Structure 1
Amino acid sequence: MTTRTPPRPVTQDDYDQVRELHAQDLSRNEIGRRIRRSGKTVSEIAAELGLTFDRSGTRAATEARKDDARAKRARLSVALLDDAERLRQQLWKEAKAFNFGGKDNTYNEVTLDEPTFADKLKIMQATGIAVDKAVRLDEYDADPGIDAAKSMLGALAAGLGAAYDQLNRTEPDASS
């Protein structure tokens, strides 16, 4: 069983330093590093002093990181599609089949007009995986409202079609 050391009591010096460093527009975490206190303790001291930390810089930095990640996913998606295209082209190119074997571990090779069926299957599987991953990356960054809008428009079109059919239905002649 490990024994925890009791927390160091917060002193007036801590309050003074938080006030002074906050006035220098330092972040909560930077103040904590400088006075050797946790961010939680700094936040509690600041709250008692009526001080707040501007989070707009944090929000902007977070948005910038999200934008960078979206751009990386977009580049990766394009690269995966390029890979899929190069893989697919191999289906129709010459292929070299080779083998090491025998008691003397000899090397044999033969050039085929195109890959074997088993190799074509593996190429198509790899191509499909690359395309699937590219599509998944694109879906990750897609606007979630688009699917809802498509669904709503589909339902609206179906409803309009049903109303049109109902309006244009011929009524049986009352004289018959």
Structure 2
Amino acid sequence: MTTPIPDEQRDQVVELARAGRARNEIAREVGISTASVSRICADAGVGFDRSLTAAALQARVIDLKAARLGLATSMLDDVQAARQRMHGADDNRNFLDGAKAVAALAGTHIKLVAVDRDDSSGTEAAKSMLGQLAHALGVAAAEDVDQVEDGGSA
């Protein structure tokens, strides 16, 4: 059987909740469980205002979306750099490695963009195009490997 929470603690819980303190914070300060804090507040008709939490969560979502967009943009720069290295390759092996890097970077870019995509904005078409481009680069690189192995040049 649990020990009843004294009236002084109950009053303190209600007072802290009315002052806008968070449930977990009250539980730590008073030394009771969060379930007890919830029960005491419900009995007293005191609710917890989650609007600040919702606003903080929304701000975090926006921050993370901006970070993903920045990373996706950087990935496009990396794709361009990898393409330049690929086309400047002096042998077939380096060209193929470059093509693989381009495909991997383009794929990562697609995945980053997909997290925040709005299907009504044509993102699916762009994703498909980039996927096809990455596949075509891989095919082209493989054909160049075959041509070099057959005695041709890249």
TM-score, normalisation: structure 2 = 0.71
In the comparison of the two structures, how many residue pairs are matched?
123
Q: 1:30 is aligned with what amino acid?
A: E
Q: 1:16 is aligned with what amino acid?
A: D
1:59-74 matched pairs, under 5 angstroms: 59-74=54-69
Partner deviation per Cα, 1:21-72 (whole Å, 9 max, x = no partner):
1222211122112112232221111111111011111110110110011001
1:5-84 matched pairs, under 5 angstroms: 9-84=4-79
Instruction: Flag as ranges the 4+ runs of structure 1 deviating above 3 A.
Output: 6-9, 144-147
Cα offset, 1:118, TM superposition = 1.7
More helix per residue: 2
Aligned to 2:114: 139
Change (3 A) 1:144 1:59: farther
**Gaps in structure 2 of 5+ consecutive residues:** 126-154
Distance (Å, rounded) in 2 between the aligned partners of 1:136 and 1:25: 41
Q: 2:109 is aligned with what amino acid?
A: A
**Gaps in structure 1 of 5+ consecutive residues:** 1-5, 94-113, 151-176
More strand per residue: 1
TM-score, normalisation: structure 1 = 0.63
Structure label with greater radius of gyration: 1
Partner deviation per Cα, 1:93-114 (whole Å, 9 max, x = no partner):
3xxxxxxxxxxxxxxxxxxxx3
Cα offset, 1:146, TM superposition = 5.0
Q: 2:76 is aligned with what amino acid?
A: L
Cα offset, 1:145, TM superposition = 5.1
Cα offset, 1:15, TM superposition = 1.0
Distance (Å, rounded) in 2 between the aligned partners of 1:125 and 1:8: 66
Contact 2:18 2:46 in 1 (8 A): no
Alpha-carbon RMSD: 2.1
Aligned to 1:156: none
1:120 aligns with 2:86: no
